[in-house]
A and B are shown apart, each in its own frame.
Chain A
Amino acid sequence: MVNAATTFTPVASLAGGALIGVAAVMLMALTGRIAGVSGIAVRLFPPYADGELGGRMAFVAGLVAAPVVVLVATGKMPAQTIQGNAVIMIVAGFLVGFGSVWGNGCTSGHGVCGLARLSLRSLVATISFMAAAMATTFVARHLG
């Protein structure tokens, strides 16, 4: 498999990251909840412990609508290169879903909100998923 080259985009990445932060702060200010995508996603399914299903569905709908909004605003679809066949997508998706709920959070809940709250649990989680992801990418790309 040939890896698609990407260019270093410090300004766009910093700005996009800041937007993610703005969204996390807005969600906390409005609903008092951590903007953790895995937690929001798993709570789309019963049992429902609170009356916030509508808000969670709206948040996920906003995530899905984002590339369409960017397409309309800029006139072109942003770059997206998916590497890996259907089997990899299913195995990887299952691991991402299982691990993020088993560990109480993913990149957004632990990596952004948790680190911003100076949570030791989130720091341990972030170091763990970063290390595991880097090791996996190394094995898949260079030892496979």
Chain B
Amino acid sequence: MAVVLQFAIGLVFGVGLVISGMSDPAKVLNFLDLAAIGVGAWDPSLAFVMAGAVAVTFVGFAAVLKRPRPLFAETFHLPTRRELDLRIVSGPVIFGVGWGLAGFCPGPAFTALGFGSGAAALFVAAMLAGMLLARWLANRPSLSAIAPPMDQFET
């Protein structure tokens, strides 16, 4: 039952990506390209995607987290880390460079597989390799001085 529902949740998430335009890399890049403002080619749509998603999640999380526990789990698994370290800046900067090159972030990249896109298949394969390397590096004890081990509850 929980697995069927998680398929449905992934589907709702993906349909949201498609309807919002987030699954179209051209639209993403036309948002990121601030220089396009000057020539009237800027597409501010993605700010609306973010606003809609954050607003609903803000209200929804507040309601859900008042409950004693999730429906199919013992407890809520929320990130516990608070400190600002090197990784919380360097990781997103590396991610952002890739996002700005191709216009795909992880969710839309998976959704693009469903479009039957060969380019997206290459992107996803490389993305998974990058993820596994980052996790492997993050778990090296020798790196713990510059990067604390991964928080298992963080995304």
Interface residues of A (CB under 8 A from B): 3-10, 12-42, 44-45, 49, 54-56, 58-70, 77-84, 86, 88-117, 119-121, 124-126, 128-138, 140-142
Closest 6 CB pairs of A and B: A103-B91, A36-B155, A62-B10, A16-B20, A66-B14, A21-B56
Q: Which residues of B contact A (CB under 8 A)?
A: 2-27, 29-30, 32-35, 41, 43-46, 48-58, 60-61, 63-65, 67, 69-79, 81-84, 87-107, 109-115, 117, 119-120, 122-135, 137-138, 147, 150-155
Report B120 CB to chain A, min CB distance, Å: 7
Contact check, A62 vs B11: say whether CB atoms are below 8 A apart.
Answer: yes
- Residues of A within 8 Å of B133, CB to CB, are 97-98
Residues of A within 8 A of B135 (CB): 42, 101
Are B155 and A116 within 8 A (Cβ)? Answer: no
A13 near B115 with CB under 8 A, answer: no
Contact B29 A3 (CB under 8 A): yes
Contact A23 B122 (CB under 8 A): no
> Which A residue sits closest to B56, measured CB to CB?
A21
Do residues B105 and A106 form an inter-chain contact, with CB atoms below 8 A? yes
- The 8 Å CB contact of B53, one of A21, A77, A128, is A21
Task: Give the distance in Å from the alpha carbon of A141 to the alpha carbon of B100 in the complex.
Answer: 10
What is the chain A residue whose CB lies nearest that of B62? A116
| CB nearest neighbor in B for A134 | B32
Please determine whether A105 and B13 come into contact, CB atoms closer than 8 angstroms.
no
| Apart from the given pairs A89-B120, A106-B106, 19 other A-B contacts in the complex at a CB distance below 8 Å | A14-B51, A21-B57, A26-B5, A26-B12, A29-B71, A30-B71, A31-B6, A63-B11, A66-B13, A66-B111, A80-B24, A82-B26, A96-B123, A100-B105, A100-B106, A105-B154, A106-B155, A132-B93, A137-B32
Q: Are A97 and B114 in contact (CB under 8 A)?
A: no
Main secondary structure of the interface of B (DSSP, over half): helix
Instruction: Name A80's contact: one of B19, B95, B99, B115 (CB within 8 Å).
Output: B115
For the complex, what is the distance from the CA of A144 to the CA of B128, rounded to whole Å? 28
Contact B94 A17 (CB under 8 A): no
A8 to B57, CA, bound (A): 23
Q: Which residue of B lies closest to A90 (CB)?
A: B126
With A and B bound together, what is the CA distance between A45 and B128 in angstroms? 9
List, in ascending order, chain A residues with CB within 8 A of B113's CB.
64
Asked if A105 and B49 sit within 8 Å, CB to CB, the answer is no
Among B25, B52, B72, B77, the residue within 8 A (CB) of A34 is B77
Find B96's partner among A6, A56, A128 (CB 8 Å cutoff). A128
Do A67 and B106 touch (CB < 8 A)?
Answer: no
20 contacts between A and B (CB under 8 A): A8-B44, A14-B52, A20-B22, A20-B49, A21-B16, A32-B70, A79-B21, A82-B120, A83-B29, A92-B123, A93-B104, A95-B94, A99-B96, A100-B95, A101-B91, A102-B90, A106-B106, A112-B50, A115-B54, A136-B99
